[in-house]
Amino acid sequence: MIKKVFHLPPHTNIHKSNLNFEPTSWEKYFDHKDGILIGDNKFNVYTKGILGPVLFFIHGGGFSGLSWALLVEDLSKLIDCRYISMDLRGHGETQTMDDLDLSIETLTKDVLGVLTYLFSATNTNIILVGHSMGGGVAAHVAEEGVSQSIDFIKGIILVDVVEGTAIDALSGMQSYLRSRPKSFDSVTKAIEWSVKNGQIKNVDSAKVSVPGELKKINYSSPEYAEFSNSHKHSNPAGKYSSIPENCELDDVHMFPAIQKPTEDSTKSVYVWRAQLDKSGKFWEGWFKGLSKMFINLPIPKLLILAGVDHLDKELTIAQMQGKFQMVILSRCGHSVHEDLPDEVAGVVASFLAKHKMVVLANPNMASFEPTC
From 74, 110, 160, 204, active-site residue:
160
What per-residue string of b and e applies to 169-199 under the rule 16 or more CB within 10 Å gives b?
beeebeeebeebbbbbbbbbbbbbbbbbbbb
- For residue 17, which phi and psi values (nearest 5 degrees)? -80, 170
The whole-angstrom distance between residue 339's C-alpha and the CA centroid of its chain comes to 11
By the 8 A CB rule, do 80 and 51 touch?
Answer: yes
> What CATH topology corresponds to 29-178+278-365?
Rossmann fold (3.40.50)
- Alpha helices by DSSP H, listed for 197-299, are 203-209, 222-231, 283-287, 290-296
Cα–Cα distances (Å) from 370 to 9, 328, 339, in that order, read 23, 12, 23
Q: Give Cβ neighbours of residue 166 (< 8 Å, ≥ 6 apart).
A: 132, 136, 286, 287, 290
By the 8 A CB rule, do 328 and 308 touch?
Answer: yes
Answer yes or no: 334 catalytic.
Answer: yes
pLDDT tens digit sequence for 248-290: 343 333 333 333 434 454 588 999 999 999 999 999 999 999 9
Cα–Cα distances (Å) from 23 to 26, 203, 214, 248, in that order, read 10, 10, 12, 23
Nearest Cα neighbor of 248 from 12, 21, 13, 15 is: 15
Q: What is the pLDDT of residue 43?
A: 98
Q: Looking at the predicted structure, is the pLDDT value of residue 362 above 50? A: yes
pLDDT tens digit sequence for 33-49: 999 999 999 999 999 99
Question: Which residues make beta-bridge pairs with 126?
Answer: 54, 153
Average pLDDT value for residue range 300-325:
88
From 11, 59, 140, 334, active-site residue:
334
From 67, 85, 132, 186, active-site residue:
132
Cα 324 to Cα 311: distance, rounded to the nearest angstrom: 13
Average pLDDT value for residue range 326-338:
93
- Alpha helices by DSSP H, listed for 148-296, are 163-169, 173-179, 187-196, 203-209, 222-231, 283-287, 290-296
Q: What is the pLDDT of residue 286?
A: 97
DSSP 234: T
The sign of the torsion formed by the CA atoms of 126, 127, 130, 136 equals: positive
Which amino acid belongs to residue 263? E
Minimum mean pLDDT among 2-6, 59-63, 90-94, 147-151: which range? 2-6
Would you place residue 241 in the very low, low, confident or very high pLDDT band (cuts 50, 70, 90)?
Answer: low
By the 8 A CB rule, do 178 and 231 touch?
Answer: no
Burial class of residue 242, CB neighbours in 10 A (0-12, 13-18, 19+):
middle
Nearest Cα neighbor of 181 from 89, 256, 97 is: 256
What's this model's pTM, rounded to 2 decimal places? 0.87
